[in-house]
Amino acid sequence: MKKLIKLTLFLSILITPLISASPQEAKKSVPVFENGEAQIVAAFEDPEKWIRHDLWVETEFDTDGDGKLDRMHVAVTRPQQTDTDGLKLPVIYVSSPYFAGVAPNVTGLFWDVKHELGTAAKERIHPEVVRTGERPIISNSHIKTWVPRGYIVVHSSSPGTGLSQGSPTVGGDNESLAPKAVIDWLCGRIPGYTSLDGKKEVQAFWSTGKIGMTGTSYNGTIPLAAATTGVDGLEAIIPIAPNTSYYHYYRSNGLVRSPGGYLGEDIDVLYDFIHSGDESKRAYNNTTVRDTELKNGMDRITGDYNDFWAGRDYLNDMKPMKAALLMSHGFNDWNVMPEHSYRIYKAAKAKGLPSQIYYHQDGHGGPPPMKMMNRWFTRYLHGVENGVENDARAWIVRENDTRENPTPYKEYPNPEASDVTLYLTPGAPAKGTLSHKKTKNQGMEKIVDNYSFSGRALAQSEISNHRLIYVTPTLSKDIHLSGTAKVTVTLSSSKAAANLSVWLVSLPWNKGSRTKITDNIITRGWADPQNHNSIRKSEPLKKGNFYKVSFDLMPDDQIIKKGQQIGLMIFSSDKEFTLHPEPGTELTIDLSATTITLPIVGGIEAFTHTAKEN
């Protein structure tokens, strides 16, 4: 009897914790999923219980000339259960050149744009970055979003920034190989180290080896850079407004063209802006990278595409890529323009990679809705079969909707869109017309270049000899544009070099807003007429000769409301984007050999029904 009592007591003690623990409490230390999304878990929420530490990962390159392989500074934030319970979790990884501070935006940092085309600008100044931040924290970004949902968040400073060794190269190979090394460490293939120069190793024993990357702008470029290495373990990326080609960021079809809001910036300016690494290595880096590689390769004289720029175009490196891609961009991003995302999405789709694209109607930045990102990472990092691969391929935020409420489409561009070519009839210095019917005797019209007038001012002018503008009849119904407009301008120039700028606008102009939805700029583009045959080779324009210049405008998806007119504006120097040569260059446009092709949902039938001619 006593033995039975002792046995009963022993069993009750043994099973009491199991009985008293609720099902919810039993699940606290593991990720939880509902409707295909990772949920916030109370046990992962308390920042006081997160484990935070840093380390260095050795790369395969030496870019600061000290004879030793460069090491990248890495910081980790993870739930305590990865220590106490042996819990392994996937990783959200963010890398950046900005975490340790940037150079001051002082007068003279940017190139002077007021000079003749084909000539050199005066030398600019080179400010120094004062490094900020303290170990072990590199950044707090993304932590509160992902750690409570059952992820580990890892940050690293890119080469030559913060406590990472090496040199910035602004798109060079080391900026792809650096995140690759960190991913190799997260997957257990190479060791990490507790110090910059030491040999004591650190292992990522808490990582499942499933890595996702995200970030915005430069921080969105690095996930793509890592993915182009084909590194195992990088399962999914969500680049937001990434710069996918430094040529497309600083040039347009042979033309020296600044990113919007940063007139006079170029690749060497960005180098100075981010170079926050070891002060003792900066002189060497400046000499070998900025003053040699960048200076010799960037060519602000001709603006031609060359091998230097080709090596900084990630479209050329996509063959090894296998990560699932969710791309995000704004159609009104005139800094990193929407072509950057579309060209990579298009290539990823052609490779058969899991791919989706999210576009909103605003400016630079702007991630997809949390639900979309959560489903993406849940599927590809946690391996939960949530059917995300069967979701719509394209998500467009319509003009009056919030970013959290995009409209799904089968694809981007809209599969129902087809090209409609429109022809010009004269009207300068007022407005000419755009029609799907070509007329005889279209003739010639002239522009006199003057950079002092902004594009917005020119579009709103009733009469101007500094631009040509051609408009459709007033729309009787809404018209939906989806895709990339293409323009051909046939011109002659009074000088050997000239800027060429083209805007597609919606008129009449709404003067009360600067947002894309009501700002009336549909899309725009720029080109150098000297590159009419090839963006790799420019040739001086001969006075009296006519040249056909064909190029794409920025991709777009926009509904132009009834009561508006679609206008094609052709002008020369764009005050916000191009160099500012002395006013007075004359461009003569041959209207009979100049066209605009628009991607219209419903094609020619939709256009003729909505833009009926008198």
What's the rounded Cα separation, in Å, for the pair 75 and 192? 11
Name residue, tokens 């680049």.
239
Taking the CB of residue 378, how many other CB atoms lie within 10 A of it?
26
What's the rounded Cα separation, in Å, for the pair 237 and 243? 14
Active site residues per annotation: 217, 333, 364
Taking the CB of residue 476, how many other CB atoms lie within 10 A of it?
12
Residue 279 one-letter amino acid? E
DSSP code of residue 596 = E
Q: Which two tokens stand for residue 260?
A: 């919007």
**Do 290 and 223 touch, CB atoms closer than 8 A?**
no
- Residue 176: CA atoms inside 13 Å, Cβ hemisphere, count? 19
What's the rounded Cα separation, in Å, for the pair 63 and 68? 9
What's the rounded Cα separation, in Å, for the pair 307 and 249? 16
DSSP code of residue 313 = B
Burial label for 399, CB within 10 Å (0-12, 13-18, 19+), is middle
DSSP code of residue 413 = S
What's the rounded Cα separation, in Å, for the pair 607 and 548? 26
Comparing CA positions, the residue from 424, 423, 407, 583 lying closest to residue 495 is 583
Q: Decide: helix, strand or coil at residue 12.
A: helix
Residue 156 one-letter amino acid? S
Name residue, tokens 């990865």.
82
What's the rounded Cα separation, in Å, for the pair 466 and 429? 8
The rounded Cα 386 to chain-centroid distance in angstroms is 27
In 71-134, alpha helices (H): 81-84
What's the rounded Cα separation, in Å, for the pair 99 and 132? 8
Taking the CB of residue 42, how many other CB atoms lie within 10 A of it?
12
Give, in degrees to the nearest 5, the angle at Cα 268 between 299 and 289. Answer: 95
What's the rounded Cα separation, in Å, for the pair 549 and 527? 8
Name residue, tokens 């623990």.
21
Burial label for 6, CB within 10 Å (0-12, 13-18, 19+), is exposed
In 299-359, alpha helices (H): 307-310, 339-350
Residues whose CB is less than 8 angstroms from the CB of residue 400 and which lie 6 or more positions away in sequence, other chains included = 517
DSSP code of residue 474 = P
What's the rounded Cα separation, in Å, for the pair 263 and 451? 13
